[in-house]
Structure 1
């Protein structure tokens, strides 16, 4: 089969590799779509960051070179001997995070912070290929009303949904700083939850326009002077109840803190390195900062929202490319045209997007 294989920074190759053989607890699927995540882009541009290069990841037993892609869906082709609850021909979305099931966090149901946490497609072979084999616990069957295009977006939408859950309140006003795919999906899901005021901030006019279509009530150019103060003014001069930092920068974090009311909360979703804080102001305002990583128990809710309520995740998709073109029209397009491109889907075998076992 053809696959996008990461060998190093700037070195992703479309190669012929063997079709994976599913183990006893695994499912083999024909991939319909695989999204390019910001994490994939960072690994391509200047990795490794998460990809194991010196020893195999404990959950996957895999190290580089490996097949990229953790935002994927497809059609079940075959099952390992111990797999139940899914059948050949089922269309499925893949919840791609590994979990051991035995560490204290897993035993408490917090498998997104498993001791051996990782993702298929970053810490093990993923879905940027014609076929993929994954542990059966990653597989979610799709009802008839959920398309493959929607299912390919469940992974980034799960990050947004988990962040909203981490907000821990029923907010009247929120700010979303950073309108990449996760930021835009945070806007969409906040609107679906009925948040009355949603302030969206970004440098890109195109992304601000999409945020407005997804439910943002107010738009802020993040490049203006004191954007946090402007957000606070929009929220009755008090500030928002919750601000979501979806950039991964110290500047964006400060903007979120400035925008947030006394007693409010900032949810860190973006991946920053070290940041400096005014701890005196943080304490005096009794603000909280919480982190949000990955997701857990989100796919059933997203399947319900899309299948039963008609929620449409696809406005964040800006293009769909063939596997053979993923370097030039995928990674390079995202690096060189970041303002225009948001979510790019890779279609490994277009004629097989709705394949069944008989195919």
Structure 2
């Protein structure tokens, strides 16, 4: 089968590799779509960041080179020994978090901050391939009313949903700073959760226009005006109840702090390095800063929203490409800066080579977790 294999920065190869056989507790998924995430982009541009190189990841046992891609979905093609509750032919969305199930955080239900936290496609082999073998607990069966294209967006939508939950009680007003796919989905889901006023901030007119279509009530072009000051003007000098930093930069964090009211909350979603802030002002304004990493228990809610409430996640998809074009029309297109591309989906089964699906023997052992 074809797969996108990460060997190093600027070295992702579309290679012919063997179809993996699912081991004990695993399923083999025939991948329908896999989205390109900002994390994938960082690994391609100047990684490794999360990809294990020297030591195997404790959850997956994997080291580079490995297959990229954690935003994926598809159809169950084979079952490993001891798998129950799934059948060949089931359409599934993949929740790619590794979890040990035994550490204190897992026992508390907070598996997104498991001691051995990681993602298939970053810390182990993922879905930028025709087939992917994953732990069965990652697979969520889809009702017929949920398309695979929608399911391909559950991973970034989960990041947005978890961030909204981290904001606490549903706020009346929010600012979303940064309108990549996760920022745009935060706008969409904020409206779905009853937020009355949603102020969207970006430097791209095209992304601001997309945000308007997804429910943003106010658009602020941060390339043309001071976003924090503008938000205070629009809210009568009060500021918003909660602001979401979805860029990963000190400038965006400062915008969120300036835009948030006294007693409000800033949710960090973007991945920044070291930042500085005015702690004196933070204390005097009694603002809270909370972090949001990954997600937990989000897929059932998203499946319900799409199946029953007809929530449409697909407006954030700006193109679908074949696996052979991943580097040229995927990574390089996104590295070109803010433009027409937001979420690019990869269809790894186009021009399939016809690889056979393996049937695992009953005595295969479980991968290290």
Bin for the TM-score computed over the shorter chain = over 0.9
- 1:270-309 paired onto structure 2 within 5 Å: 270-309=270-309
How far 1:235 moved relative to its partner?
Answer: 1.9
Equivalent residue number for residue 107 of structure 1 = 107
Q: Using the alignment, how far apart are the partners of 1:162 and 1:343 within structure 2?
A: 19
Structure 2 residue 247 is the aligned partner of structure 1 residue 247: yes
1:81 equivalent in structure 2? 81
- Gaps of at least 5 residues in structure 2 are 358-369
TM-score, normalised to structure 1's length? 0.97
Deviation at 1:222, TM superposition (A): 1.2
Would you say the 8 A contact 2:67–2:127 is kept in 1?
yes
CA contact (8 A) 2:317 2:343 kept: yes
1:264 maps to which residue? Answer: 264
Shift of residue 350, structure 1, vs aligned partner: 3.6
- Given that 1:14 and 1:324 are in contact with CA atoms closer than 8 Å, whether structure 2 keeps it comes out as yes
Deviations 1:158-202 (A, max 9, x none): 000000000002211000000000000000000111211000000
Distance in 2 (CA, whole Å) between partners of 1:46 and 1:324 is 21
Q: CA deviation at 1:277?
A: 0.8
Q: Which residue of 1 aligns with 2:3?
A: 3
Q: Distance in 2 between matches of 1:170 and 1:36?
A: 30
Partner Cα distance (1:330, 1:59) in 2: 28
- Could you tell me which residue of structure 2 aligns to residue 66 of structure 1? 66
Aligned to 1:317: 317
Specify the alignment match of 1:165 in structure 2.
Answer: 165
2:13 corresponds in structure 1 to 13
Task: Please state if 1:343 is matched with 2:343.
Answer: yes
Asked if 1 retains the 8 angstrom alpha-carbon contact of 2:2 and 2:14, the reply is yes
Counting matched residue pairs gives: 353
Contact map agreement 2:128 2:323 (CA 8 A) in 1? yes
Q: Measure how far apart 1:337 and its partner are.
A: 4.8
**RMSD after superposition:** 1.0
Q: Say yes or no: does 1:128 pair with 2:122.
A: no
**1:174, 1:236 → 2: CA distance?**
14
Look up the match of 2:333. 333
Task: Report how far residue 351 of structure 1 moved.
Answer: 7.7
In the TM superposition, residue 86 of structure 1 has moved relative to its aligned partner by 0.7
Match of 2:365 in 1: none
C-alpha distance in 1, partners of 2:350/2:172?
43
Q: Is the 8 A contact 2:170 2:194 kept in 1?
A: no
C-alpha displacement of 1:234: 1.2
The 2-side partners of 1:5 and 1:170 are apart by 41
Mapped partners of 1:33, 1:259: distance in 2: 37
Secondary structure of 1:132 counterpart: strand
Instruction: State the match for 1:230 in structure 2.
Output: 230
